[in-house]
């Protein structure tokens, strides 16, 4: 089973339709035997170059090895990622590609003359999470309950989009999602893979929302979240997160990916949930300046060795 919901056909179709991209499902295997298999989804823009679609946290990667011996797993994953790097270089990158954390060996991409930049997120094991969550996170959710808030699964996509506009206004970025896009994505993926949580205050007014993608028995992704400015101090974000975690536990999900922890205040908020800090990589073609600098550093090193 592929645990990443970004493999879902509905999600792939949404990216093709909404961002005018061409998707390709890729399966790589060794020339002989069945010792390993790597699967991913690549997206090409109108120029035929590879890109990470907007609003995609990463490109999904699934790796299977027929052996569980560490030496075999390490060697075969290196071989699989080397094949993937070669495939990417042959097609050409139209921008940076954000890879799944499954690609934890970045060397094959560097060997293929690509630059790699580390990015971070938190993965929370859903089972047994109670003992990992900082008490401060639970207190904020409890405060929200005392103030009369309630949180439910919703299909009120207009209300969800309205809540997502909160951080857009405060932080100056654009989710590029309206109610119509959320409704389309819900229809493409279905309720077993797409869900919206909405928190309302005691007056019934929408105050906070979270949009998630998930695979039952696999991972859940905290894809988009937003709250009204006036509700920020009430702990709405924590209330919605607790509701989401309970929902995914009921669906047998194993890991909740908070998606992103690269900005100090965001990292501080997400680390309180007790997840594992996970590194993944964004890769891009090395530019002329970077290649020239690397050649210069290599030449200086060689000259120093010869002068000794």
Q: Do 71 and 200 have their domain in common?
A: no
Half-sphere exposure of 48 (CA within 13 A, CB side): 4
In a domain, 110, yes or no: yes
Q: Do 134 and 92 have their domain in common?
A: no
Q: Do 149 and 64 have their domain in common?
A: no
Q: Do 74 and 159 have their domain in common?
A: no
Q: How many domains does the chain have?
A: 2
Average pLDDT, the chain: 91
CATH code of the domain covering residue 209: 3.40.630.30
In a domain, 299, yes or no: no
In a domain, 19, yes or no: yes
Domain span at residue 97 reads 5-120+279-286
CATH code of the domain covering residue 113: 3.40.630
pLDDT, tens digit, 9 for 90 and up, residues 36-93:
999 999 999 999 999 999 999 999 999 999 999 999 999 999 999 999 999 999 999 9
Q: Do 144 and 44 have their domain in common?
A: no
Q: How far apart are CA 164 and CA 306, in angstroms?
A: 60
In a domain, 203, yes or no: yes
User: Coil, helix or strand for 210?
Assistant: strand
Q: Do 142 and 253 have their domain in common?
A: yes
pLDDT, tens digit, 9 for 90 and up, residues 28-45:
999 999 999 999 999 999
Mean pLDDT of 159-167: 88
Q: Do 167 and 252 have their domain in common?
A: yes
Predicted TM-score (pTM) of the model is: 0.90
In a domain, 191, yes or no: yes
Q: How far apart are CA 230 and CA 206, in angstroms?
A: 11
Q: Do 64 and 139 have their domain in common?
A: no
In a domain, 99, yes or no: yes
Half-sphere exposure of 306 (CA within 13 A, CB side): 6
Q: Do 246 and 231 have their domain in common?
A: yes
Q: Is the pLDDT assigned to residue 297 strictly greater than 60?
A: no
In a domain, 173, yes or no: yes
Helices (H), the chain: 9-19, 70-91, 107-111, 135-146, 157-171, 179-189, 236-250, 264-271, 288-307
Q: How far apart are CA 9 and CA 14, in angstroms?
A: 9
Q: Do 28 and 69 have their domain in common?
A: yes
Which of 43, 44, 84, 45 lies closest to 62 in space, CA to CA?
Answer: 84
pLDDT, tens digit, 9 for 90 and up, residues 173-195:
555 679 999 999 999 999 999 99
């Amino acid at each position: 089973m592929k645990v990443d919901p970004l493999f879902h056909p509905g999600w792939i179709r949404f990216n093709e339709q909404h961002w005018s991209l061409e998707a390709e499902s890729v399966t790589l295997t060794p020339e002989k035997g069945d010792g390993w298999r790597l699967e991913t989804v690549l997206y090409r823009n109108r120029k035929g170059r590879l890109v990470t679609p907007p609003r995609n946290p990463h490109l999904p990667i699934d790796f299977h090895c027929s052996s569980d011996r560490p030496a075999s797993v390490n060697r075969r994953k290196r071989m699989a990622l080397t094949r993937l790097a070669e495939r990417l270089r042959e097609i050409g990158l139209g921008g940076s590609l954000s890879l799944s954390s499954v690609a934890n060996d970045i060397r094959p991409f560097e060997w293929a003359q690509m630059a790699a930049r580390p990015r971070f997120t938190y993965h929370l094991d859903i089972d047994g999470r109670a003992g990992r969550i900082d008490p401060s996170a639970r207190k904020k959710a409890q405060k929200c309950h005392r103030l009369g808030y309630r949180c439910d699964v919703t299909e009120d996509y207009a209300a969800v989009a309205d809540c997502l506009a909160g951080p857009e206004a405060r932080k100056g970025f654009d989710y590029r999602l309206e109610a119509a896009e959320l409704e389309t994505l819900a229809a493409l993926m279905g309720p077993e893979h797409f869900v919206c949580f909405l928190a309302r205050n005691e007056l019934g007014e929408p105050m906070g929302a979270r949009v998630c993608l998930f695979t039952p028995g696999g991972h859940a992704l905290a894809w988009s979240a937003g709250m009204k400015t006036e509700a920020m101090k009430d702990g709405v974000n924590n209330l919605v997160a607790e509701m989401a975690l309970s929902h995914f536990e009921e669906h047998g999900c194993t890991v909740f990916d908070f998606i992103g922890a690269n900005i100090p205040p965001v990292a501080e908020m997400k680390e309180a949930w007790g997840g594992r800090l996970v590194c993944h990589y964004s890769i891009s073609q090395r530019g002329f300046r970077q290649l020239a600098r690397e050649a210069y550093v290599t030449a200086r090193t060689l000259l120093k060795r010869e002068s000794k």
